[in-house]
Amino acid sequence: MKRKWLAVLCLLAIAALLTSCQGQQNNQVFTEVTQYLGPATATPVPTDSTTTSGTDTSGGESIFASNPYVVATDESFTASDALGEEDTQDNGVYVGSDTAAIGQIDTVSTVYPYAGSTPIPLDPVDAPTPTPRPTLTFTYVLYDVPTLGLSFEGPAGWVPDDSVKDVFTLTEPEDQIKEGQLGVVTLYAAPVNSNYTESELVTEIKQRLDTISATNFTEWKPSYTATRYLMGSKGVYANYSGTMTDGTQVGGRIHAVCLDKVLYCIQVTYPLNFKDDYLNIFAKARETIKRTGI
C-alpha cells in the first residue's frame, strides 16, 4: 500500500515540476528590420513635345516652295546682272511626257551595320578619303562662227566644226579624253516663224532632252527646266546626266533663247565626274556669246 502511494506522489511531483517550467517560458518578440529609403517622390510625367507650349507654329516658306534658278521678273534685274549668276548645281528632276521623275537615295541616313566582335570597314562609312584630283584649267580664245552669226569664247586648242547646217561644234582633242567622254560645246541657230514664248522654250528644251536620251542611253536623268538670261534675253535651260550602253557616264546642260525669230541654243556635254570643270566652260561661253553683224 505504501509503495502505491509513493508512486502516486512521484507522478504528482513530476507534473508540478513540468507545469512550473511552462509558466517560466516567455514569448520572444523580434524587432522588424527595415531600410529607410527616404520620402517617396512622384515620378515626373513625360512631356509630349508635340504639345509643348513653346513650339513655334508660325511656320515659314518651304525651301522647296520656289525654284531658286528662276530669275527675277521685275524690271530691276538686267541682263548684266545675270552674268554672275552661273552655278554648277543640279536643280531636281522634270517630268516630261515620256520621262518619269527620278528619285534620289539618301546616302547620309543609310545605316551600314557590321556583325561580329571586330568591326569590318564598310564603304562608304569607313573607306579612306580619296585623294582630290586637281581642278582642270582652260585657256580661252575667241571663236567666230559666221555661219550662225555668233561669236563666243571657248577653250583654246579644241577642234571646231561647222559642216552641219545651223550647227557649230567645238570638240576637245582626242588625246585629252577623260573616262571615255570628250568635252563638246555645241551651238544651234535656226529661224522660226515667231518669237518663242517661255512656255514654247520649255517645250523646245524638253524635246531636245528627249532626243538626246534616245541616243544609246541605258540610264537617263534630266532636270527641271528653269529660266536664265542668254544674250541679254531670258531663256530656258536644263541639266541632264546618264549612262551610255558602254558604261560611259555623261553629263550636260542645254540652254535656249529666241531673239528676232531665231532660236539659239548652246549645249555642253562632258564626262560626268568632271562636271564642275566643264560647266565652267559653259559659263564662259554663255557670258561671252554675242550676235555678230547686227
Mean pLDDT taken over the chain: 75
Percentage of the chain modeled with pLDDT above 90: 52
Q: What's the pLDDT score for residue 43?
A: 55
Mean pLDDT, residues 76-90: 47
Grid cell of 46 as nine digits: 513625360
Q: What's the pLDDT score for residue 77?
A: 46
Name the DSSP letter for residue 195: P
What is the rounded CA–CA span in Å between residue 264 and residue 254? 11
β-pairing, 233-244 vs 217-222, is: antiparallel
Q: For residue 265, list its beta bridge partners.
A: 188, 256
Q: What's the pLDDT score for residue 55?
A: 39
User: 161: which residues sit within 8 A by CB, 6+ positions away?
Assistant: 168, 169, 170, 171
What is the rounded CA–CA span in Å between residue 190 and residue 282? 20
203: number of Cβ within 10 Å = 16
Asked if 205 contacts 267 with a C-beta cutoff of 8 angstroms, the reply is no
CA angle 196, 270, 85 (to 5 degrees): 55
Mean pLDDT, residues 213-218: 93
How far from 223 is each of 101, 164, 183, 280, CA to CA, in Å? 9, 28, 20, 19
Q: What's the pLDDT score for residue 129?
A: 67
What is the rounded CA–CA span in Å between residue 177 and residue 184? 11
Check whether 196 has a pLDDT greater than 90. Answer: yes
**4-8, 21-25, 60-64: least confident range:** 60-64
pTM to 2 decimals?
A: 0.60
54 against 23, higher pLDDT: 23
Check whether 279 has a pLDDT greater than 60. Answer: yes
Mean pLDDT, residues 17-41: 53
Q: Which of 244, 286, 49 is nearest to 150 (CA)?
A: 286
Summarised one tens digit per residue, pLDDT across range 134-148 is 888 899 999 999 999
Mean pLDDT, residues 52-81: 42
108's enclosing H/E stretch is: none
Summarised one tens digit per residue, pLDDT across range 244-277 is 999 999 999 999 999 999 999 999 999 999 999 9
Grid cell of 82 as nine digits: 545675270
What is the rounded CA–CA span in Å between residue 198 and residue 18? 123
What is the rounded CA–CA span in Å between residue 247 and residue 179? 10
Q: What's the pLDDT score for residue 293?
A: 75
Domains of the chain, by residue range, sit at 79-87+136-291
Summarised one tens digit per residue, pLDDT across range 98-153 is 444 333 444 444 444 444 445 555 555 555 666 777 888 899 999 999 999 999 99
* Residue 92 CB-density burial (10 A; 0-12 exposed, 13-18 middle, 19+ buried): middle
CATH class, domain 79-87+136-291, is alpha beta
Summarised one tens digit per residue, pLDDT across range 147-191 is 999 999 999 999 999 999 999 999 999 999 999 999 999 999 999
Q: What's the pLDDT score for residue 135?
A: 86
